[in-house]
Structure 1
Amino acid sequence: MKRKIFIPVMLILIGSVTAGCANGMTPSTYGSKQQGIVQTLEVETKAISDDNETLESSIKLPVFSSENNKELLNEINTLLEKDALKIKEELSQMAENDFKDAKKENIELHKYELLVDYEVYTANSELISVTVLNYQYTGGAHGMSVKVPYNFDLRTGKEIALEDFFKEGSDYKKVINEEIQKQIKEDPDKFFPDEVEVFSGINDEQSFFIKDGKLVIYFGQYEIAPYSSGIIEFEIPNSILKDVVSPSFIK
């Protein structure tokens, strides 16, 4: 899904970044020297915790900041927090209703849980690529994890979809599908048999992120593999995308 952030954009010169989940409130600084000037982008972790009779939640989110692009980065920070708090509110309401019903039936329920964390993969002059992972436990044998991607074009202030990286009219899906099918066949035991036989293919709302300048396609739990396989990622080699990638994203 693409969302526009209507903020005037000033380009910033920031180097590519790869990082794991940040811990605590210590800012991380990402930058590179370009044309003799060092420009930086800081990422600080914002922690939001809550614990009541029905739900225990722990939310960690990135807070992007820089001397440049302050308004745009604030809009991105606000969007990430708004989405996370919406998930918390929905789960909180669900927990309250379920516990109320369980009490009427004299059934004991385990407190619901919500854990939210993040990974920043890229933060440069044109692109921020980050995922927010939320884990929910609502009873049963195990919880469920959902990894939500956020990819922002800092030149336009727009959240971009996979198709935006490719030339209009190019058959980029075919190129990517063939590569994923190849990787599936290299480790077939991780996947559902039907996907090994014929990969179902990527879709228009496909989840992805950009890491170390490379496209990574991923699938959630149960999409193409059993729960035990977790969230499946496929790194797509740049060499096979060179004929279909949009000139605006070629370095």
Structure 2
Amino acid sequence: MNDKLNRMKQEYESTPIPDELNEMVNRTIASLRTKIKAMPWLVSAAAACILLSVGVNASPTFAKALSEVPVLGQIVKVITIREYAEQNENTDVHLKTPGIVGTGDSELEKSLNSKYMEENKKLYEGFKDEVSQLEKSGGGHLGLESGYEVVTDTDQLLTLSRYVVESAGSSAESRKYDTIDKVNHIVLTLPSLFSDDRYIRVISDSIKEQMRQQMKDDPSKVYWVQQRGTEADMPEDDLFRSIAKDQNFYINQNGKLVISFDEYAVAPGSMGIVEFTIPTEVIQELLVSNKYVQ
């Protein structure tokens, strides 16, 4: 078993990572060139790609134009800097690590991409420990998947969502979000959007009301929230009381604040990841400005 774990570790860590993400972008560009002869319509797109490594940092307008091209926009914004997969009778692993490029701020990119690498490294190390424990207890099957998606992409903001699905009989999904101000090169936090901590109570109350209304409108929905005027039918400690100060969030394409909860956090696993869009009028007086939330 130790030999197997060591082999998994060596395979994962031997996956090459470019010293500079632009090198990966350039290799991607080079791979597109081979298609030009067969598909002349790619000439213009490939030519735009060739300019990417110098143009994206030299001209924000150029970067924006490229980001709006469906095929090439992903190269400007998010690429996979490491991918590892292994499947056998006892384990199923698939890890994809994102990297952000083209922001015009190398320090921001380095900070974020290092964080994403560290996240998946910790995931993998934890998975190895679970495999070892599983073997000692008599076997079974474990699965681990990580990936990412862009959930918001506007002139001002980019939100990258990273998801993790862990399975051992049943599965559980969790998500993390980074919302980046592409113009000012900063990562937004939930507290930074508000003038003081009152947002915690206001948002929490809004979510409770949405939970109650959703359950009233659709009996198949279940949230762990106490109904008004009734006694709690589950332990008090299990009921949703309040969001965390740094609760998972993002700002959607329409400029609305969305609060996200992992599976099993505020509802049964059958509900999956649950999200609540907070009406702007509810939090308006607490916002620092309407620059991001509208």
**TM-score, with structure 1 as normaliser:** 0.71
Given candidates 115, 134, 149, the residue that maps to 1:98 is 134
1:230: how far off? 1.0
1:215: how far off? 0.9
How many Å separate the matches in 2 of 1:207 and 1:247? Answer: 20
1:220: how far off? 1.5
Match of 2:161 in 1: 131
Pairs within 5 Å for 1:36-47:
41-46=76-81
Pairs within 5 Å for 1:73-152:
73-99=109-135, 101-102=136-137, 107-110=138-141, 112-123=142-153, 127-137=157-167, 139-140=168-169, 142-152=170-180
Bigger Rg, which one? 2
Letter in 2 for 1:68: G
Given candidates 209, 223, 227, the residue that maps to 2:265 is 223
Residues 1:165 and 2:206 aligned together: no
- C-alpha distance 200-192 of structure 1, shift in aligned 2 (>3 A): same
How many Å separate the matches in 1 of 2:72 and 2:132? Answer: 37
> CA-to-partner distance for each residue in 1:61-87, whole Å, 9 max, x for gaps?
332211622342233122112212211
How many Å separate the matches in 2 of 1:178 and 1:148? Answer: 23
**Partner SS, residue 200 of structure 2:** helix
Greater fraction of residues in strand: 1
Tell me if structure 1 keeps the 8 A contact 2:149–2:161.
Answer: yes
- C-alpha distance 194-177 of structure 1, shift in aligned 2 (>3 A): closer
Match of 1:203 in 2: 244
Letter in 1 for 2:73: T
Letter in 1 for 2:208: Q
Residues 1:29 and 2:73 aligned together: yes
How many Å separate the matches in 2 of 1:46 and 1:196? Answer: 47
Match of 2:256 in 1: 214
1:133: how far off? 0.8
- Which consecutive residues of structure 2, in runs of 5 or more, have no partner in the other structure? 1-57, 65-69, 229-238
Letter in 2 for 1:75: S
**Partner SS, residue 147 of structure 1:** strand
- Which consecutive residues of structure 1, in runs of 5 or more, have no partner in the other structure? 1-9, 16-25, 31-39
Q: Which has the higher contact order (CA 8 A, sep 6+)?
A: 1
1:229: how far off? 0.9
Residues 1:233 and 2:261 aligned together: no
- C-alpha distance 50-239 of structure 1, shift in aligned 2 (>3 A): same
Q: Post-superposition, which runs of at least 4 consecutive aligned residues in structure 1 deviate over 6 A? A: none
How many Å separate the matches in 1 of 2:143 and 2:100? Answer: 27
Greater fraction of residues in helix: 2
Tell me if structure 1 keeps the 8 A contact 2:194–2:288.
Answer: yes
- C-alpha distance 177-69 of structure 1, shift in aligned 2 (>3 A): same
